[in-house]
A and B are shown apart, each in its own frame.
Chain A
Amino acid sequence: MQENRKHLLGLEGVPAEEIKLILDTAESFKEVLDRPIPKVPTLRGKTIVNLFFEASTRTRFSFELAEKRLSADTLNFSTTASSVKKGETLRDTAQNIEAMKVDMVVIRHPASGAPHFLRHWIKGSVINAGDGCHEHPTQALLDMKTIQGIHNEFKGLRVAIVGDIIHSRVARSNIYGLTTMGAEVALCAPAPLIPYEAEKWNLKTFYNVDDAIAWADVLMVLRIQLERQSQNFFPTLREYHNYFGITRERLEKANKKITLMHPGPINRGIELDSDLADDPEYSVILDQVTNGVAIRMAILYLLSGETK
């Protein structure tokens, strides 16, 4: 880890050697998770608070499990059961948590930039667990760990990100991380779901999903974020499925080995056929979840040395 890195706010600008260090460190923690007693005393005495201002199962459980496997003390905060309901601001919440001498804060927030804001109000480390439509670095790192487990090398690997890219923090973090590591990334979605910033990323873009499948080694399928579809980005879900849904027929037509990923939660039958999601021939979706705990342990470990 870079000498001065204290927070993990995003993967934009994180150099390849740091990403590699995180992935390597996670490998050591994967071994810990396979032990009869899968717990190490590494973060004993550290206090970590999980601030979740937005619904989450995988990420929150994964962080909590990672913290417990490292013997840290954890506090969980969710908006429905906290003073935020009474109108407390993020800054006040943060300062109160700071007053309780917390070493690290894991934050998920519907507003992009919330973790960056939080960092100014607390002394501990801040880890972004997803901020609005901006970044979700730990998800991208666990995706990269999963890809590494299958393909070994990033250089020259073709990863197509398919689906609701405009709303996806997972896509953004993966684009930054994967391109830094030397993979080729392409986007595939109906035009309204490709963000303006895609021009700056300078990535190959497919508007036909069959072309994307023919090109890719890895398909990263994104959830259609129904809760963020305030405007009409496409006419109907059925039409989306017909044109962009990943189906068995489409994969078999490509007639090659392809790795299927999805950050979850899946809208079965919309962006991805239900039986494909469960087919170990293609899908590594549950490996992603397993790797998530090891990746988060690695990040907590690497950031924890600098709080003193």
Chain B
Amino acid sequence: MERKVKAKIIDETGLKRTITRLSHEIVERNHGTEIIAAVGIRTRGAFVAERIVKEIERIESKKIPLGILDITMYRDDFRQRLKQPVLQQTDIPFNIDEKNIVLIDDVLYTGRTIRAALDALMSFGRPAQIQLAVLVDRGHRELPIKPDYVGKNIPTSIGEEIQVKLKEVDDEDCVLLVEAPLGEW
């Protein structure tokens, strides 16, 4: 369903700059690329992660490991749903022990997805650190979770929604503020 767009918050060029800045911050905070690995949360977080890994490779000429996480099995709204969401593949092709894992998602909202992702990551081993990078932080946290790297803070009301569009799955690169359909809030 098409939703009413209230504003385009980041355009294609802006998105590119944001990815570049996030990549620089990640490398700076971790003193290089030695022990970092990126893990993106499906669906759009995985594409953001891919772009960050590519950008870090451009800046530092080193490719950091990239993993993809599907958190469906860890969701906490399981019992409220009638139909099961379709599972997708998790693919973490490296050992996460002793690594600084940068967990990457597109939008940070209630924090429940991140909680699920943290639980999921722990069944792969014991990382040295887990850091959180998000393209957009829209507020309204329901859990004590705070991002380490933020593309843009966008204060929203509950009746609004953030849509991240990425060329990998959508027809353009941008971040939109849209009206949430009635009944979803």
Contact = CB atoms under 8 A, between A and B. Distances in A.
Nearest to A30: B89
Interface string B29-53: 0000000000000000000000000
B74 A301 contact: no
B87 A25 contact: yes
Interface in A23-47: 24-25, 27-29, 31-32, 35-42, 45
Nearest to A306: B82
Nearest to B126: A36
Majority secondary structure of chain A interface residues (helix, strand, loop or mixed): loop
B89 A27 contact: yes
Contacts of A42: 73-74, 78
A28 B119 contact: no
Which of A25, A39, A40, A41 lies at the interface centre, i.e. has the most chain B CB atoms within 10 A of its CB? A41
A40 B78 CA distance: 13
Contact of A25 (B74, B82, B86, B125): B86
A35 B124 CA distance: 6
Contacts of B74: 40-42
A252 B92 CA distance: 41
Contact of A31 (B80, B83, B90): B90
Nearest to B81: A305
Contact of A28 (B83, B88, B123): B88
A35 B87 contact: no
Interface residues of B, number: 22
B79 interface: yes
A40 B74 CA distance: 7
B162 to A, nearest CB: 27
B128 interface: no
Contacts of A45: 79
A37 B122 contact: yes
B123 A1 contact: no
Contacts of A37: 122-124
A301 B78 CA distance: 10
A304 interface: yes
B73 A308 contact: no
Interface string A1-13: 1010000000000
